[in-house]
Amino acid sequence: MTKIAFMGAGSTIFAKNVLGDVMLTSSLCDSEIALYDIDPKRLKESEIILNNINKNSNSGRAKITSYSDRKEALRGAKYVVNAIQVGGYEPCTVTDFEIPKKYGLRQTIGDTLGIGGIFRALRTIPVLLDFARDMEEVCKDALFLNYTNPMAILTGAMLKSTSIKTVGLCHSVQVCASHLLEGLNMDTKGVQWKIAGINHMAWLLEITKDGVDLYPEIKRKALQRETPHNDMVRYEIMKRFGYYVTESSEHNSEYMPYFIKSKYPKLIEKFNIPLDEYPRRCVEQIKNWHQMGKDLLDNKSIEHKRTTEYASYIMEAMETNIPYKIGGNVLNTGLITNLPKDAVVEVPCLVDSSGVTPCYVGELPPQLAALNRTNINTQLLTLEAAITSKKEYIYHAAMLDPHTSSELSIDEIVSLCDDLIEAHGNWLPKFV
């Protein structure tokens, strides 16, 4: 019986999707599923919903158990899915947004890069390293499937500071080409594409149909699309740098120095940028969860349809040795030759019974590699801060962040970091 541990199982909808997928996969449907979360109420809710899905969609074949003991949840696992959020919306996400706002520094999502991404990483890495220490003791050969942001930094922490086999997984690669084409009313059937770069800033390097390059038509239609719409930052990046980027406009607007600028407030309107989007989304989700959670819990006949999340397909490929291709976040072992070798890159990977094997990409177009490196600088310095516990590396990471450094002076950046360290208190380790 294959054991699958889900860390952060109180993320009920995501746990439902990933583990519902597992239960609908013939090679995994008899699995032992271990649920772990520090919130006992949300953990119990997830257990109830998953047991109903197991009964209705899987004839009760999976064994589902909740654990309050993390090490016991992990013991003997072959796959570990990570979906935790350290500090939650309150207090930590609120802190990540409200204190920078006092300095005039605005964000949209704040979970991957920027000042919000830096501090989310710093409070999450110690928890993941604790997971890894437990895994090295009780399931040392397990594959760690990381879904938590900031993806590149956290995946890098696992790969560089532990012995645990890890791959980072994101939704944006799967939907990139279809999202682009659907927004331009272009047919998605039979389209081939190639994507590589870094998480949330990977590039649609090729997109063809029947051997014909679709980029000329895509760019022509993008220029003609009526505004405003939700893809305007990505279209501008494509116009100026030549390629479409995987992650949404609200994300990419805060990964670059060009779009959110206090001196040019009209840019916000011009590019339809939703400032404070993540806090707004959190408030809405929290409000809606009370009814949604009740509906799910009360629905004893709940069923599930398999989603496009990578996790179950990875496990299936490893169990059956039938190859499957994913876009995975892995260490750059010469995969993208003009990005740093210690960076985490997002590249095509082949999965089979031998595990996750990344594919060689070669050189990115130089302007794309240059943009990636601006983000990698902050990622690597944040990781350095977490590993060394030295405050100066937090400052360096923030000083080199493209958006933060375009808005604030060096003194303001240092002061902002100090304020965030103080405000986060015990959510962060001690830095010297």
Asked whether 424 and 121 are in contact (CB, 8 A), the reply is: no
Which residue matches tokens 């956290």?
154
Concerning whether 290 is annotated as a catalytic residue, the answer is no
Answer yes or no: is 200 a known binding residue: yes
Whole-angstrom Cα distance, residue 375 to residue 392?
Answer: 18
Per-residue buried b or exposed e for 183-209, using 16+ beta carbons within 10 Å of the residue's own CB: bbebeeeebebebbbbbbbbbbbebeb
Of residues 171, 179, 290, 424, which has the active-site annotation? 171
Q: Are strands 191-198 and 201-209 parallel, antiparallel or unpaired?
A: antiparallel
Instruction: Give residue for tokens 């100066």.
Output: 392
**E-strand stretches of 24-171:** 32-36, 63-67, 79-82, 143-146, 165-168
Task: Pull the structure tokens for residue 145.
Answer: 């499937």
Would you say 149 is a known binding-site residue?
Answer: yes
CB-CB neighbours of 177 under 10 Å: 22
Per the annotation, does 170 bind a ligand? yes
Query: 10 Å Cβ neighbour count for 171?
Result: 15
Give the integer Cα–Cα distance in Å for 318 and 2: 11
Spatial CB neighbours of 207, under 8 Å, sequence gap ≥ 6: 177, 180, 191, 192, 193, 194, 213, 214, 215, 218, 244
Structure tokens at 190: 């039979």
**Helix (H/G/I), strand (E/B), else coil: 303:** coil
The span from the CA of 9 to the CA of 43, in Å, is: 6
Query: Token digits for 334?
Result: 């010469």
Residues annotated as catalytic are 171
Binding site per annotation, positions for Mn(2+): 170, 200
**What are the binding residues?**
149, 170, 200
